[in-house]
Every structure is written in C-alpha cells, then in structure tokens.
Structure 1
Amino acid sequence: MSSVQVLTPRDVPLGGLRAMRVRRTLPQRERSLVGAWCFADHYGPDPVAETGGMVVPPHPHTGLQTVSWLFAGEVEHRDSAGNHAMVRPGELNLMTGGHGVSHSEVSTPGTEVLHGVQLWVALPDGARDRPARFDHYAPPPLTGPGWSAHVFLGSLLGHTSPVETATPLLGAEIVLDPGAVLELAVDATYEHGVLVDTGSVVVAGQPVKPSEMGYVEPGSPDLRIEALEASRVVLLGGPPFGEQIVMWWNFVGRDHDEIARYREEWQAQITRDGEVVGDSQDVADGRFGIVVGDHLPPIPAPVLPTARLKPRG
C-alpha cells in the first residue's frame, strides 16, 4: 500500500482589504508541490450576502498557470491578454501566465453562494517564458456505481481532457455516495493529492477529513478512495516536477533576483509619482499588460522579505 501524508490547511485572506477567507493546503512547509501543482486554495460554501463574495482586483502572475474550478456560484474573469470569461460550476478555466499576465476575479451579482477551488500549476523552465493564454473546457459528466466525476485535466476513468499542459497533469472532481468505494487505475509514475471538499474519505487506507489533502507518493498503479459519508474530492496528480522553484506572492521564478525583478516591474506599471493608480485602465504598458474593462485599482505587491528567497521543490 502506498504511503499517505495528510496535509492540513491554513486559513488565509485573499484579495486585499475586503478579503475573503480561503483554506490553503499547498504550498506548506511539509510539501511544496504535487506533480507540477504548486498551490491549492479551497473556499466556501460562502453566503455572498454575508461575506461580500470574491473581489480580487488586477494582480500579476509569471511562470505558472491558474486553474479555476467552481462547485457553486459564478466568477467573472478578465485578463491582460484580452480574455473575458465567466467561471461556472463544472467548467475549467485555465489561464497561462507564462512570461507575464495580470487578471481580476470578481463574483457576479447573481451569485448567492460561492464555493470552489483555485489551483496553480508551475511551468517547467522550457515553457515558462511563453505568451499568456486562456483555455476553457466543460468536461462531460462520468458516472458509475456510487460515484460521478468530471475530468478537467489529463486522463482518468476512460476520459481524456483535450486541454494541453506543459507537463503531464491530472485534475478531476469526484462525488461519492456514502459507503462508495472507487478503485482508480492511475499512472504509477504520478504522485497524487486528494483534496476533500465535503464529507470524509479513506485514501489508500488513510482517513482524510474535510479541507485536508491526502498526498500519495508514486509507485502504485491503483488508488483506492472510500467514502465514509457523502463526499466530494478534487484529485490532483502528475509526475514529480523535477525542478526547484521560488514562489512568492503571485510569482513563480527560479531565484530571488528574478522574483525581485518581477515585483519591481509590476510596481512600475501600477504606480504614478509613487502612488498606486486608482483604475486598472491607467496602468502603464509592460510585462503584465492591462486588464481591459476592469476599473478596480490594481493590487500593489507586498514588500519583499529581508532574507533572500530560497528555492523549494
């Protein structure tokens, strides 16, 4: 049986002063990556009338892909590559930051409950300087005895997502009835993370509770998930990334100096006479571009730590 490590989340604010709270399982001290998956936030179900919903003004990314997957609600996405899309339950929205991109995420007025995951994928060195890109995919529902699933990246349960990735990846939402047992045929070279949204499950013999992630090391062609009650999980996977990364704020790079340069470029784009501009349409041209159609003021980068950032992976 494969060894399973249980990763517990920490509660963090997202999006500045009017921040919504999210539960973050990646990265953490014990583990930085699962395959190329380098970041996992889990939020909701949040009543928007009480929490204010998601209001994340324009902010930058480099060297990564963002993967948005909702269980409930709707989020409006705008980015500096000119993409404008609605993120809806059961539909993958994947934004490739690559050389540099900025975007905003705001829950729509009709959203009453917001619930989902926000995931990042680290791009390998050979792909991280590519131009920004946006992919949308609505995977078909898959069903079997006591379970249903949507495979949004990679291959599982006889379905293969057409969305191209820079490294092999697996991403799927799986819903299980109480007592259901799902024996999955998986790639033995992959490591896997099972993030529990609701309910509780046993992953390869290890109990995993809500908001926890069960990490399964490579080596087995089978992955067993048993539902102790009605449960929903997000399954992530991929071969070990094989590269060290530096991840700070919204940037993925390879060393401290590179991250510092990204921060300096972003600050130069969004400030005038030392002050952050009041409208995203007023930012200067540069690496991260302009988020067209969004009039929220951009998010300034925090101050870099005094110690040099160290690669992890």
Structure 2
Amino acid sequence: MRIGFSVPQFGPFADPDRTAAMCTALEALGCHSLWVADRLLAPLVSPDGYPGGKPMPVRYATHLDPLLALGLAATATERVRLGSSTLNALWQPPLVLARALTTLDLISRGRLDVGLGLGWMREEYQAAGIPWQGRGARLEETLDVLDAVWRSDTVAHTGPLWTIPESTVLPKPLQGPRPPVLLGGFTPPALERVGRRADGWLGASMPLPWFDGLWAVAAEAAERAGRDPAGLRRVFRVNPEVTTAEADPAETHRTGTVRQICDHLRAMCRAGSDEVLVDLQLTTESPEQFLDLAAEFMAELAGPSPDRPPLR
C-alpha cells in the first residue's frame, strides 16, 4: 500500500508559505505522494450534489489554484509523487492544460500524476462558461488532445470541439510517453472510461460491495480493450471524520478512530500498487494539528519498517 496526503490549500491552509512548509514536512514523514483538489467557488445558496449528501464545507470557499499549488509542492519537495485528485479537466482548453501539466512535470523532475475528473457542481460550469451537458464527450476529446500533444512530434488534432493545425509543441514532459493519467468518477460510464483509456482510477473510501461493483466495470472494460486490469492503479481518497470513540462499523469508510478508518482502507487496498489519499483539511484547524494527525495515519498505515522507525 502507498500512502498519500492532500496538499494543504483550503480554508486556513490556503497560504503559499504555509502550503510549502507543510509539504516539506509531509514528505519528511515518509509518505509516497501529495495531491491537490480543485474548486472555483462556493455558492451562497448551497448547491445540490455534494458527495455524501451533506452541505458543501464552508472552507472550500477559500482555496489556492490547484496547478500553482502543485508548483509550490514541487519546489518544496524532492521525492514524493505529485498529483491532482481531481483536476476539473474541462474548464480550460486542453492545449492550454497540456502546456501547464508539461511545465509541472518538468518543474517536479518527472513526478507528476495527472488526475482528471468532471466535477459535480453545475454552478462552477456556469461560471467557467462551459456547458454542463456533454461532459463525457468533452473529456474524451480532451484526452485525445493531451495524447496528441504529449506523444507526437508533430501535433495535429481535428475534433468536434477543438482543431489544432499541424504544429510543433515543445517541450515534452520528462516522463515518457506521457505522465500517468488517472480518472475520477463513480458511475458506470466513468469506470468504463478508466478501464478503456486511463492508467488508473481516482476513487474514494466506500463500502466494499459498492467498490467491488464499480471496479468490475473498469476491469471488464480494460479486458474488452485488450488491456490488463491488473496494470491499472487505484487511489482511494478519504476525507475522514476522526473520532475518539469507535464508530459504527458500517460507517468506517469515512468515520471512526484512526485505526478503524485505516482498517477499512487496508481492506480496499488489495494490490501492491494501490494507494490511499488522506485529506485532513476538513478535520484539522492548524498546521500542527494537521501534521500530528498525518503522523498518526502514517504510523497506523505503514507501521515500523527496517528503514523507518515507528512514528510517534
């Protein structure tokens, strides 16, 4: 199991100096990766559709740009992988997105994981001037453009939404043939797309029967496309509500003691390449509290090893 944490970028953590220092400290804990998220706005009238059926957290109204926050994380660290979980892929033209992601891969010296999703909030699409309808087809063409830019010496694309004349687009990413692309989503079409054309899935901590059903869709799609499902990565995000008393076992995919939450994550991680992403921005109030809780999760998930003493 690999262990990742959120890049501090929301609410009280939306401060560039604080973000950089905390990323350095998180890397020192021995984690494998750091991940940014993506928000544009927080409507004053609570939007429908927030995952989990709860109101959208107020602190999402204060946020750092995800790509610039990844740049901060890249310069503040040396070893950890750096990813987006998830970057809303449709809010900028894919050629512009490819340029930014290429630059991040170069800044990080080849440590970038490109995590893309469609988001869930109609209001953000309206504010960005992007149609809500047709999101799946727009994402498919976005992936086509990214591949054309990253894989081809001469870049050209003609599609329903974008046209790129034969052009030179340099530099290329440090990682070849391109940075890994992981896709988010929790519907059968989203998982089918993961299996058909992504390097992995940005999932979430969830009840095991739900997880098994969704992953079966991706695995079957991969096999139909002539791909090996075992080669797909899986990253499971959890925004934990940490309690001191043990919670209902049916809720430990999101609520409970550190040990309960970690036990559920261990049950989900069935392959050596599986990874957990622990986002502590909604459950902590200060850098000290964030890093202390991150150390608890590291100690519980990783345990002692010959190369790392137990974390305290």
Short-chain TM bin: under 0.3
Which is helix-richer, 1 or 2?
Answer: 2
